[in-house]
Amino acid sequence: GAGVSQSPSNKVTEKGKDVELRCDPISGHTALYWYRQSLGQGLEFLIYFQGNSAPDKSGLPSDRFSAERTGGSVSTLTIQRTQQEDSAVYLCASSLGTGGPYEQYFGPGTRLTVT
Amino acid sequence: AQSVAQPEDQVNVAEGNPLTVKCTYSVSGNPYLFWYVQYPNRGLQFLLKYITGDNLIKGSYGFEAEFNKSQTSFHLKKPSALVSDSALYFCAVRDLTDKLIFGTGTRLQVFP
């Protein structure tokens, strides 16, 4: 079946612009996660959604970052007023649920470059 | 807090030789541990996980992992390395709020 998809695969933007990154999880997966992978920082958790529960936003680095998940499926990560330190690969993952040892399946990522 | 450590930035091994990529963990309660692999310009691919039970876990692509509770380790192994195994490997632990906490990654280089 189809895996997690993300778009765009690459995004170059000017400092100060807003960007939107999209994630389509695996069908039937109720949990959706966003991570950021940057050089020297490894993989860091940003936010996750589980069903209709309030999202866990504890990893968002600033109030310029936000995310939503519509209809329990597609998610959009928005970064406002981008800064050069936002340059990274943004990874989305989904899993069957939470509260159990479900593995997360990752998309190919969106490489964001802020110039 | 849950955490994992990968003490080696890079592991070099000759093709055909056994390989080990190390991971140690620190958790409260029973650990759910995972290994992922990342090939260049690709997302992370799930290899295997430990939940409970057998200490030797079989995974994808011929990989296995050995869980050792007394040493709090979860090392990734493969009996015979392939050049195509060259990639970045991440160990991860599921924390109490269900997100994954990743190690810093180990680059595996298999030489022909």
**Predicted pLDDT of residue B81:** 97
Contact assignment for B44 to A33 by CB distance below 8 Å:
no
Which CATH number belongs to the domain containing residue B95 in this structure? 2.60.40.10
Per CB-CB distance under 8 Å, the chain B contacts of A101 are 32, 49, 51, 94
Q: Measured between alpha carbons, how far is B82 from B48 in angstroms, rounded to an integer?
A: 18
**Predicted pLDDT of residue A97:** 79
**Predicted pLDDT of residue B96:** 78
**Predicted pLDDT of residue A71:** 81
**Predicted pLDDT of residue A8:** 97
One pLDDT digit (tens) per residue for chain B, 112 residues: 789 999 999 999 999 999 999 999 998 888 899 999 999 878 899 999 998 888 999 999 999 999 999 999 999 999 999 999 999 999 999 887 788 899 999 999 999 9
How far are the Cα atoms of A9, B8, B74, B85 from residue A89, in angstroms, in the given order?
9, 23, 27, 22
How high is the mean pLDDT in each 10-residue block of chain A (115 residues)? 91 98 94 90 89 89 94 93 96 86 91 96
**Predicted pLDDT of residue A21:** 98
Tell me how many domains chain B contains.
1
**Predicted pLDDT of residue A40:** 67
Domains of chain A: 5-99 (2.60.40.10)
**Predicted pLDDT of residue A1:** 58
Per CB-CB distance under 8 Å, the chain A contacts of B103 are 42
Which of residues 28 through 87 in chain A touch B, CB cutoff 8 A? 31, 33, 35, 42-43, 45, 48, 50, 56, 58-59
Tell me which residue range forms the domain holding B7: 3-111
Token pair listed for B82 = 């392939």
**Predicted pLDDT of residue A104:** 92
b/e burial code for range B28-62 (CB count within 10 A of at least 16 → b) = eeebbbbbbbbeeeebbbbbbbbeeeeeebebeee
